Chains A and B, each alone.
Chain A
Amino acid sequence: MDIGSLVGIFTTRFLGIFIEAISFLLLGTLISGLIEVFVSKDDVVRLMPKNPIAATVVGSTMGFLFPVCECGVVPVTRRLYQKGLPVSVGMTFLLAAPVMNPIVLASTYAAFGWGPVLIGRYVITWIMAMVIGLLFSLQRHPQRIVNPIALASFSGGSGMAPSVSAGRTPLLPGIKQALILAGEEFFEMGRYLIVGALLASLMQTFIAQETLKALATNPVNSVWVMAALAFILSVCSTVDAFLALSFARTFTVGSLLTFLTFGPMVDIKSTIMYLGVFKRRTVIYMIILPLLISVLIGIWLNLNVRF
């Protein structure tokens, strides 16, 4: 086939993923900007239950209140820690929120509809976040988990919500500030989406599907491949469902679920951000535990469940 038509096909596929995904990314950055400006974190901490298990459950679903993707969740968690949120609850929130939020629910539904992928994504994510959060709640000394620098209160720098004593931000300037922040975050996050969309559409266009099939249909190897892809691509959780969709015709369902559950918790960019909040040893656990749980569930599903 001539190179001209290949470039045309590649462009159509690339723009397809970009155009479909970008609305969700824009919505995510807008909401994140609004939270940054208008939500006072004190209110949330005051409502937190004292019982560790109940608090972990609340932490795992708090994303529906703070619809942030994996990029937005780290600064929000750090701020919640400064306001006294228990470390294990923050951990559960951090791991669950990138999936447990209305925007990701909408984009996953748009891509896969109501079915095993959507349900599996939510059930597995919830299990992973709860197990890991409860494990960390056994550690009684939070200073061994969290980087002390992250807990030191810092004065409101760029884009910080004003302290409570300063009162609420007035509506119109607040909205304008949220929009400016959203524009900045769009560039910060958009690059990961674009690199991910580039790679997915290059693979769809230039790699013969037969070559991929041997790897993609193997119940074990496919899961590891998708876990590695999720880590490398670092795509925002609000749009990763559309990338998974482009692999859905060749790859096993278990491997797609690993991509959709492990990816939002751990990838290159979130690892870098985690290092700013947690101790190095904690971060290693935060990579290995989700990886093992997610891969094991993915392989188990491939071997035992017919979709």
Chain B
Amino acid sequence: MIANTANIRKWLQALLLLGLGFYFLDNMLTGRVYFYINERFGWLSWLATVIFLVLGIINIYDLLRERRNAQIQIHDAHDHEAHDHHDHAHDHGHQHGLAPSWGILGLVALPLVLGLAIPAKPLGAAAIDSSGISTSFSAVQGSGSTTTQFALASTDRNVLDWVRAFNSTENLNEFNGQEADLVGFVYRDVRFKDPTQFMIARFTISCCVADASAIGVYAQYPDAAKLTQDGWVHIKGHFTIQQFEGQATPILVADLVEPTNQPQHPYLYP
């Protein structure tokens, strides 16, 4: 049987569905899906994984059966006896719509191609330049309660908890001397004249990276110049209130800064 291009396109459609299913499965199993979306929507991506795989398998099964039926039909045409087989071949449940065009196939393949060709990487310091970094509460408002961060021991608070705490107080001095233990990536921009100063930054997302915004806590460390931009670090120290660009600002004076692995969940969820 001569394969026309509609048939090829139908096969590509089926293989794309299956491919997307395996791409999603890989994202879920490696946890890379959390480079893209908030943890609380993980179950939806599992759902998408299953639907893609089922759609892919059903499509392939259907194409295989169609091919077998077509062969039976050709066989019958030679064999002028088995008329009942004709009925069987026509009794096919449904008619296929048109196969998707090459343009549609190319577009739907694009996420898969980009996902496989470009190494998966969460948003980092480089992504901040176009949108800016925030130390204010308004940018990190969300469903989370504003009081929960005070219920945590100071060394259990993450960057988001601290930023919220700083922005919900009248008196910054209450943070003077408080200990902190944080993980984040190193961020510096033109505002940082003092080579010992930098920021411990994180991205927060409420839904997916479409709404990502960067937040950070100021830090100070004698060897800070050796820290690479965007590198993940674990930092321990205590806050002192200092002037930064003419504003009273809590700065984390570090006793320890050590490089660490990018966390499994690179974003914080407000």
Contact = CB atoms under 8 A, between A and B. Distances in A.
B210 A22 contact: no
A280 interface: no
Contacts of A64: none
B55 A179 contact: yes
Nearest to A208: B130
A184 B105 CA distance: 11
Nearest to A113: B143
B122 A9 contact: no
The winner among A23, A245, A246 for most chain B CB atoms within 10 A is A23
Interface stretch (A78-86, A186-194, A264-272, A297-305): A186-194
Given A17-B208, A242-B208, A246-B210, A190 B107 contact: yes
B48 A191 contact: no
Interface in A5-40: 5-9, 11-20, 22-24, 26-27, 30
Interface residues of A, number: 58
B248 interface: no
Contacts of A243: 210
Nearest to B114: A11
Interface residues of B, number: 58
B108 A249 contact: no
A245 B208 CA distance: 9
A152 interface: no
A176 interface: yes
B228 to A, nearest CB: 14
B96 interface: yes
Contact of A13 (B24, B111, B119, B210): B210
The winner among B58, B59, B111 for most chain A CB atoms within 10 A is B111
A182 interface: yes
Interface stretch (B29-37, B70-78, B238-246): B29-37
A149 B111 CA distance: 39
B17 interface: yes
B104 interface: yes
Nearest to B94: A177
A187 B13 contact: yes
Contact of B131 (A30, A184, A190, A209): A209
Contacts of A27: 47, 51
Contacts of A200: 210
B236 to A, nearest CB: 29
Interface of A: 1, 5-9, 11-20, 22-24, 26-27, 30, 110-111, 113, 157-159, 173, 176-177, 179-184, 186-188, 190-191, 194-195, 198, 200-201, 204-205, 207-209, 242-243, 245-246, 248-249
13 contacts: A12-B209, A14-B114, A15-B114, A22-B48, A23-B44, A158-B95, A181-B97, A183-B13, A186-B17, A190-B104, A204-B210, A207-B130, A242-B208
